[in-house]
Amino acid sequence: MGIISRNMCPVCNATTIHLRLRAEDYTVSHQQFEIWECDHCSLRFTQNAPDEGSVGDFYQSENYISHTDTQKGLINKLYHFVRKTTLKKKRRLIEQTTGLQNGTLLDIGAGTGAFAHSMQQAGWNTTGLEPDAATRKRAADLYGLNLLDTPSLFQLPPASFDAITMWHVLEHVHELHACIEQIKVLLKETGRALIAVPNYTSYDAAIYQQAWAAYDVPRHLYHFSPDAIKHLLNQHGLRLLGLRPMWFDSFYISMLSEQCKNGKNNLVKAVWIGLLSNIKAVGNRERCSSVIYVIGK
């Protein structure tokens, strides 16, 4: 297996990096992986993560919901129940931030296509990218979508999208800077990118520590703080226009984290931790369990 060993930060290239904690891959391999932190931009990243040619093995699980759309188990059933609401909220957010009722949209990391399909149904000219061939086929079977593979990102015409979305995808991307730069290229001058990532500075992350499910090593290569995102955008001449909370994520991540930590569900405790996390983030959205960053040129 090829691995990526870093001696500098993958966001800001600082060499002031150090081991912060070790976390387990609870989904597939049950291996331990090191998570390092940059003292300059505060990014955390998975050290000795599998390279792009090797990481596919770590996605091969029927429990990996973005690839399988599984409804097995209580947590996945709740996820599907809530998704109907979150899809509508995402559409409204795109309409609000772009000022458009319909337009051209690129969804990077489309998974099984639920979001891309919902935007298509709402009248948006939607292009979806998904790296996994089996997942692209599932999107075709479920929604009739013809998703493109991810190298197509660099073959699309410049300045052609009113909106570009990445819903919990950026943390998976090996070529981080190339991806962000291409988003800049593909956005229209008035276009908006919406990038959602977990936030390790949240209360639920502090409670669960190495068992925090959103570390999701080694599939998550990077573990972002708001400061790390700002550093990344500044390097590419992009503007951060706003932050939006993903309030449901604190509950979902806490439920998964309880399972990681204790090997079983504890719905009451997870809901309590998720609620506390949201309460603590009410006055400071930079402490939400997951954050949507609204980005412009």
Spell out the domain ranges in the chain: 64-296
State the chain's mean pLDDT as an integer.
93
**Confidence (pLDDT) at 241:** 98
Q: If you average pLDDT over residues 164-186, what whole number do you get? A: 98
d(CA 234, CA 240): 9
65, pLDDT greater than 50: no
pLDDT in tens, 103-149: 999 999 999 999 999 999 999 999 999 999 999 999 999 999 999 99
What's the distance, Cα to Cα, between the start and end of the chain in Å?
Answer: 38
78, pLDDT greater than 70: no
167 DSSP β-pair partners: 196
Structure tokens at 176: 């981080």
Q: Which helix (H) or strand (E) holds 130?
A: none
Helix, strand, or coil (residue 127): strand
70, pLDDT greater than 60: no
66, pLDDT greater than 90: no
Q: If you average pLDDT over residues 85-90, what whole number do you get? A: 90
User: Over the range 37-57, which residues count as b (16 or more CB within 10 Å of their CB) and which as e?
Assistant: bbebbbbbbbbebbeeeebee
pLDDT in tens, 20-63: 999 999 999 999 999 999 999 999 999 999 999 999 889 887 65
Q: What distance lies between CA 220 and its chain's CA centroid?
A: 9
**Confidence (pLDDT) at 82:** 67
151, pLDDT greater than 50: yes
User: Over the range 192-207, which residues count as b (16 or more CB within 10 Å of their CB) and which as e?
Assistant: bbbbbbbbbbbbbbeb
* Omega cis (within 30) before 218: yes
d(CA 192, CA 275): 30
**Confidence (pLDDT) at 68:** 45
> Using CB atoms within 10 A of its CB, is residue 21 exposed (0-12), middle (13-18) or buried (19+)?
middle
Is residue 16 within 8 A of residue 185, CB to CB? The reply is no
The sign of the torsion formed by the CA atoms of 96, 102, 103, 108 equals positive
pLDDT in tens, 272-291: 999 999 999 999 999 999 99
Confidence of residue 156 (pLDDT cuts 50, 70, 90): very high
Helix, strand, or coil (residue 26): coil
pTM score, whole prediction: 0.93
83, pLDDT greater than 90: no
Q: In CATH, which superfamily holds the domain spanning 64-296?
A: Vaccinia Virus protein VP39 (3.40.50.150)
Q: Could you give the count of Cα atoms lying within 13 Å of 106 in the half-sphere of its Cβ?
A: 29
**Confidence (pLDDT) at 84:** 75
